[in-house]
């Protein structure tokens, strides 16, 4: 295992400390229990947005704390949901009197720990709502399973709901727009290489030089299918087709096209993939109204990418375009 780390047990603490030092203008960090919070929190009268989950997906979530997006991020150990204590502490720290929205990726651990924290916060008189993101079409959904994973769509939910909160929407309104974004977002990912969790020290799976995993999540877990490496355009189609069929997306739709890197794939390749995705959408008469390309939700050093489509409406576009000032997403101020 080759990593720029000291003690594997201190990876998250030390990295968060570096993040806080580099972005002292945007955030501060509480250490016991650990969470990252907007420098000016709580913002009086504003709905507070809290997200969190296992570490290793950077810039998610701490990179999205700031004006117009999250009020706090709660980092767990690598790929491990945080416990209720820091979620509760973060919830209290961002409560400006208008209630708090939890944005939770759909994993059993995240859901259960956020649930407990929400119960505890409610017991202390804070109004909490939760939105559970589940945009991953690689997972077959059913009443009898854990359901779909929350993946890259979560970034879009955080930006758009964050803008709604920033303009003064109520908790119900912010939760509603977050739900709407999640309901209109679909993602799918692939991996060329596995990643190595620091405390595990070994890759999550092994792949031959010509093999890739299709339908992966963001935790270094194997995907649904192992196939031979194919040209980029074909790989893009393999991700895009199930996404398009699922919502479904069709001619005349306006979308946000989001090509996300898993952490170890260079931008050169992400933009090359974007080219084909844009072409394929064009062929179907789907209009790309907004784009996002880069490493926005990752699985440590994994090489691979995911594609997300979000079907936009006017309000979503307006909220997407609204100013945001975070370490990882910034425009308009």
Partner 1 sequence: MGLDITWAVDWVRRSAETVAEHRTRLIALDREIGDGDHGENLDRGFQAVLPKLDDLAAGSTPGDVLKLVATTLISTVGGAAGPLYGTAYLKGAMAAGSATSLDGPAIAAVLTAARDGIVARGKAESGDKTMVDAWTPAVEAADAEAASGADARTVLEAAASAAEAGAEATEPLVARKGRASYLGERSAGHRDPGAESSALLLRAAADAAVAAAGD
Ligand X SMILES: Nc1ncnc2c1ncn2[C@@H]1O[C@H](COP(=O)(O)OP(=O)(O)O)[C@@H](O)[C@H]1O
- What's the closest the beta carbon of residue 134 comes to Mg ion, in angstroms? 17
Euclidean distance between the first and the last CA atom of the chain, given in angstroms as a whole number: 40
Give, as one character, the DSSP assignment of residue 67.
Answer: B
Active site residue: 23, 57, 61, 102, which one? Answer: 57
User: How many residues are recorded in the chain?
Assistant: 333
Taking CB under 8 A as the criterion, the residue among 9, 18, 224, 250 binding a copy of itself is 18
Interface positions, 51-70, toward a copy of itself (CB under 8 A): 55-56, 58-59, 63
In three-state secondary structure terms, 186 is strand
Does residue 55 belong to the site contacting Mg ion (CB under 5 A)?
no
Strand ranges for the chain from DSSP E:
27-31, 34-38, 48-55, 72-78, 100-105, 128-133, 185-191, 211-214, 225-228, 254-261, 287-294, 304-311, 324-325, 330-331
Cβ atoms within 10 Å of 294's Cβ, excluding its own: 15
By the rule CB under 6 A, 55 interacts with ligand X: no
- CB-wise, 141 or 315, nearer to partner 1? 141
CB atoms < 10 A from the CB of 320, how many?
20
- Binding mask 93-132 toward ligand X (x if CB under 6 A, else -) reads --------------xxx-----------------------
Q: Which of residues 79 and 296 has its CB atom nearest to Mg ion in the complex?
A: 79
Of the two residues 8 and 242, which places its CB atom closer to a copy of itself in the complex? Answer: 8
Among 22, 112, 122, 183, binds a copy of itself (CB under 8 A): 22
**For this structure, is 57 an active site residue?**
yes
Of 19, 92, 11, give the one whose Cα is nearest residue 54: 11
The yes or no reply on residue 294 touching ligand X (CB under 6 A) is: no
Asked if 132 is part of the footprint of partner 1 (rule: CB under 8 A), the reply reads no
- For residue 130, state whether it binds a copy of itself (rule: CB under 8 A): no
Q: How far is the CB of 79 from Mg ion (least distance, A)?
A: 5
- CB 131, CB 88: distance < 8 Å: no
The stretch among 115-123, 147-155, 206-214, 241-249 that binds a copy of itself (CB under 8 A) is: 206-214
Question: Dihedral, CA atoms, 277, 303, 217, 100, nearest 10 degrees?
Answer: -90
Confirm or reject binding of residue 182 to partner 1 (CB under 8 A): no
Distance between CA atoms of residues 323 and 333, nearest Å: 6
Q: Does 81 bind ligand X (CB under 6 A)?
A: yes
Distance CA 269, CA 249 (A): 25
79 binds partner 1 (CB under 8 A): yes
Please give the residue ranges that form the binding site for ligand X (CB under 6 A).
80-81, 107-109
| Catalytic residue positions, numbered | 57, 219
Please give the residue ranges that form the binding site for Mg ion (CB under 5 A).
79-80
């Amino acid at each position: 295992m080759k990593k720029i780390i000291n003690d594997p047990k201190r990876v998250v603490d030390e990295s968060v400390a570096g993040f806080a030092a580099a972005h002292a203008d945007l955030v501060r960090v509480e250490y016991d229990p650990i969470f990252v919070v907007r420098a000016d929190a709580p913002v009086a009268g504003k709905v507070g947005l809290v997200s969190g989950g296992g570490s290793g997906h950077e810039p998610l979530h701490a990179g999205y704390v700031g004006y117009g997006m999250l009020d706090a991020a709660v980092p767990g150990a690598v790929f491990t949901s945080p416990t209720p204590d820091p979620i509760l502490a973060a919830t209290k720290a961002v409560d400006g009197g208008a209630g708090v929205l939890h944005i939770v990726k759909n994993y059993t651990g995240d859901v259960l720990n956020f649930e407990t924290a929400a119960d505890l916060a409610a017991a202390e008189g804070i109004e909490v709502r939760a939105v559970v993101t589940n945009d991953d079409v690689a997972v077959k959904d059913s009443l009898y399973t854990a359901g779909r994973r929350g993946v890259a769509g979560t970034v879009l939910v955080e930006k758009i709901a964050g803008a709604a909160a920033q303009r003064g929407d109520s908790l119900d309104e912010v939760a509603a727009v977050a739900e709407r974004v999640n309901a209109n977002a679909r993602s799918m990912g692939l991996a060329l290489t596995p990643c190595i969790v620091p405390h595990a020290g070994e890759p999550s799976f092994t792949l031959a030089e010509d093999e890739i995993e299709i339908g992966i999540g963001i935790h270094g877990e194997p995907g649904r299918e192992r196939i031979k490496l194919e040209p980029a355009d074909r790989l893009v189609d393999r991700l895009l087709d199930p996404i398009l069929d699922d919502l479904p997306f069709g001619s005349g739709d306006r979308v946000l096209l989001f090509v996300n890197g898993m952490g170890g794939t260079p931008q050169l390749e992400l933009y090359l993939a974007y080219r084909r995705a844009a072409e394929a959408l064009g062929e179907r008469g789907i209009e790309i109204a907004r784009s996002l390309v880069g490493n926005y939700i990752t699985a440590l050093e994994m090489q691979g990418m995911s594609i997300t489509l979000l079907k936009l409406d006017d309000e979503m576009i307006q909220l997407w375009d609204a100013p945001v000032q975070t370490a990882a997403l910034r425009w308009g101020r």
